[in-house]
Structure 1
Amino acid sequence: MDQIKWGILGCGNVTEVKSGPAFSKVANSSLAAVMRRDAEKAADYAQRHHVPKWYADADALINDPEVNAIYIATPPDAHEELAIKAIRAGKPVYIEKPMARNAAECERIIEAGKKAGVPVFVAYYRRALDYFLKVKELVDSGIIGDVRYVSICLQWQPYEEEVGENARPRWRVTPEISGGGHFHDLASHQFDFLEFVFGPVKTAQGISRNQAGLYEADDIVMASFEFESGVLGNGSWCFTIDKAQRQDEARITGSKGKITFSFFEKFDIIVENEAGTNVMHIPYPEHVQQPLIDLIVKELRGEGKSPSNGDTGIRASRIMDEICTK
């Protein structure tokens, strides 16, 4: 491909800043069309973001001859169907994370892509962000010695719509739409990045429960896992805690020190070893998906390689499936 002309299926909140504008800021790339079931909202998005075309029908966008690559930014329940439709139309797909509701759906997308010879990419953009590349660089440098274990703690304040007398659970906590709850939405990023740093997870197990009864999905998860490299890991995720207890911390402990960082909220990386404590501040770019989109465009043009694709994207879903198996 010479010029990558993108179409977005599902131009909701995630596309407003994180991803949408980046498609036209990357070299040899442009956003040609957007689609949303609500025609008024699709037209509004197109007008605000200066997109030439908008649709209220997914098939119409997929079959638009001026669109040659598809970004699927709908909730996960539509990922498999839309990805396979786009693949059969011969158009590369870039799929929001998690790749689908479960590993079985991911496998069918990958199979369709390989059968048709069409590339599949997944929006695990931390593999291309400077902040997380620095964490990987520090681990690889041996600055904390041999890595022994990884610990994750994520305590996330519930969304206002999910609590109180007039609670309206969002799609992220409706398993038939999202595949699970906030764990599936957020831990997918964490496991994907940890595999990027340490290699494949060999085994994973856990306990997931709904303690507060605010919605259908599980709201607390405890897990342990082991990488093929021998590094061990554990994690706790709780989404029904008081605002004052909000926490987002990951710690990599080695034989000679430790690295502390955040997956979602903070921009500091703290390295502690025999030389002392070093704090590095690395903010995210304005459009967090832009570095990964740039690499995807380069791969589609035969100029580079994306670190996130279908084969890597499915792995986080497999891990979460193992952990949440009752």
Structure 2
Amino acid sequence: MRIGWGIIGCGDIADKRVAPAVKEQPDSDLVAFFSRTRSRAEEFAGRHGARRAYDDLSALLADPEIHAVYVASPQGRHCQETIAAAKAGRHVLCEKPMAMDVSECQRMIDACRTNGVCLSVAYYRRFFPKARKAKALIEEGAIGEVVQGSVSMLGRWTLGRDDPKYWRVTKGASSGGALADTGSHRLDLLCYFLGEPESAAGFADRLALDIEVPDVETLVVRMKCGAHVVSRHALCTPTGQDDFELFGTKGALLASPWDGDELTVVVGRQRETLSLPKHPNVHFPLIDDFAGKISRGEKPSFDGTDGMQATRIIDGCYESARTGKVVRV
């Protein structure tokens, strides 16, 4: 079975990554784009060779050639658009972070389950070769029991209010600052490597920028396996940082930057740096897994419950920041 795709939302990710990945995936056809501005949907359809353009979401979801949708709209629309797609019998691959909060995530999961369609979240970094290697090393006990970790995602927000991406720092369109945005990818990796989160304590403040969401967020997460992780995120530092470190009873896994291709494995006094290049289009392995497995009647590697784990941590951090308490997630 070939999978006909509709892409909901005509932004940068849909343009540069999602549409090219769908076109490259051998079991997929790019059928249509949806935008609330018809001319934009037509522009994207023409650029990427899609057959149709819609400015009516219900019309796209009723298109008989569409079997799956990629929800690439701003975060505040993920829940309603996913539920609409599920009710129309369409499989859903949703942009990250999954939704505004855990309750929305659960509604999305329930709707897809009730309507018998698959739901996954676009945490594509799980498909990086370095992530797969790190997961294998942890599972085989190469660094012993993981007891502690550290994540740092620091940088500076420079986009003005007239930029199409400004919704990412607008309350109501986004659920938070860097923690919810790029940080959600790293929190998802924590759950991929270590399992479910148990509790979180954090701070979230706006210290330097004139934006509606926090520009500095710091949290400590305790995972159900017992490991502690410190996670730092900022939108107001001039020096960027992208570090991901896991420490075990026998060694460590180190990546700086995480989005680079190198993974350093430390065991005792031995230190080895592995080069593990990723696909040129980082969305392709995600799209390939989702479409390929659905075309064969199988379930994608990761489901909505997997995608919700990062949101559990994000919600916990913000609740802790409001209440001053450690929050079970």
TM-score (norm 1): 0.92
1:221 to 207, 217, 221: 217
How far apart are the structure 2 equivalents of 1:168 and 1:297?
Answer: 29
CA distance in 1, matches of 2:164, 2:17: 25
- Aligned partner (choices 286, 290, 296) of residue 296 of structure 1: 290
Distance across 2 between alignment mates of 1:62 and 1:167: 29
Structure 2 counterpart of 1:214, one-letter code: D
CA distance in structure 2 between the partners assigned to 1:158 and 1:264 by the alignment: 19
Match of 2:302 among 308, 315, 318: 308
State the superposition RMSD in angstroms: 1.9
- 1:280 Cα shift? 1.5
For 1:1-326, list aligned pairs within 5 A: 2-161=1-160, 170-242=166-238, 245-262=239-256, 265-302=259-296, 304-325=298-319, 326=322
**8 Å CA contact retained: 2:5, 2:66:** yes
Distance 1:298 1:168, change over 3 A: closer
Q: Which runs of 5+ in 1 are unaligned?
A: none
CA deviations on 1:126-170 (whole Å, 9 max, x unpaired) are: 2222121112122223222222211111111222427xxx99981
Deviations 1:174-205 (A, max 9, x none): 12001112221112111111111111111112
Aligned partners of 2:241 and 2:257 also within 8 Å: no
User: How has the CA–CA distance of structure 1 residues 65 and 217 changed in structure 2, closer, same or farther, with 3 Å as cutoff?
Assistant: same
Further displaced range: 257-266 or 215-224: 257-266
The one-letter code sitting in structure 1 at the alignment partner of 2:240 is R
Q: What residue is the counterpart of 2:326 in the other structure?
A: none
| Aligned partner letter, 1:283 | P
Separation (CA, whole Å) in 2 of partners of 1:315 and 1:170: 25
Instruction: Write the distance in 1 (CA, Å) between the matches of 2:304 and 2:166.
Output: 27
CA contact (8 A) 1:72 1:83 kept: yes
Provide the C-alpha distance between the structure 1 equivalents of 2:74 and 2:258, rounded to a whole number of angstroms.
20
Residues 147 and 248 of structure 1: CA distance in aligned 2, closer, same or farther (over 3 Å): same
Deviation at 1:98, TM superposition (A): 0.8
Structure 1 Cα separation of the partners of residues 22 and 16 of structure 2: 11
- Give the aligned residue type for 1:14: I
Number of aligned positions between the proteins: 320
- Kindly provide the amino acid, as one letter, of the partner of residue 139 in structure 2: D
CA distance change for structure 1 residues 195 and 169 in 2, over 3 Å: closer, same or farther? closer
User: After superposition, what is the alpha-carbon deviation per residue over 1:29-81, rounded to whole angstroms, capped at 9, x for unaligned?
Assistant: 11111112222222221122111111222222111111111111000111111
Q: State the secondary structure of the residue aligned to 2:173.
A: helix
Is the alpha carbon distance of 1:168 and 1:289 closer, same or farther for their aligned partners in structure 2, counting shifts above 3 Å? Answer: closer
Contact 2:118-2:300 within 8 A present in 1 as well: no
CA distance in 1, matches of 2:264, 2:223: 23
> In 1, distance between residues paired with 2:158 and 2:94?
24
- The SS at the match of 2:70 is strand
CA gap 1:167/1:285 in 2 versus in 1, 3 angstroms: closer
Once residues 256 and 291 of structure 2 are traced to their aligned partners in structure 1, the CA distance between those partners, rounded to angstroms, is: 28
Distance 1:174 1:263, change over 3 A: farther
User: Partners of 1:280 and 1:256 in 2: how far apart?
Assistant: 18
More divergent stretch after superposition (299-308 vs 42-51): 299-308
| Structure 1: distance between partners of 2:116 and 2:163 | 45
How far does residue 122 in structure 1 lie from its aligned partner after superposition? Answer: 1.0
SS of the residue aligned with 1:20? helix
Distance (whole Å) between structure 1 residues aligned to residue 301 and residue 229 of structure 2 = 23
Q: Residue type matched to 1:47 in 2? A: G
In structure 1, C-alpha distance between the alignment counterparts of 2:219 and 2:56, rounded to whole Å: 41
Whole-Å Cα distance in 2 between the matches of residues 38 and 168 of structure 1? 13
CA distance in 2, matches of 1:230, 1:174: 35
The gaps in structure 2 that reach 5 residues or longer are 323-329
Q: Look up the match of 2:327.
A: none
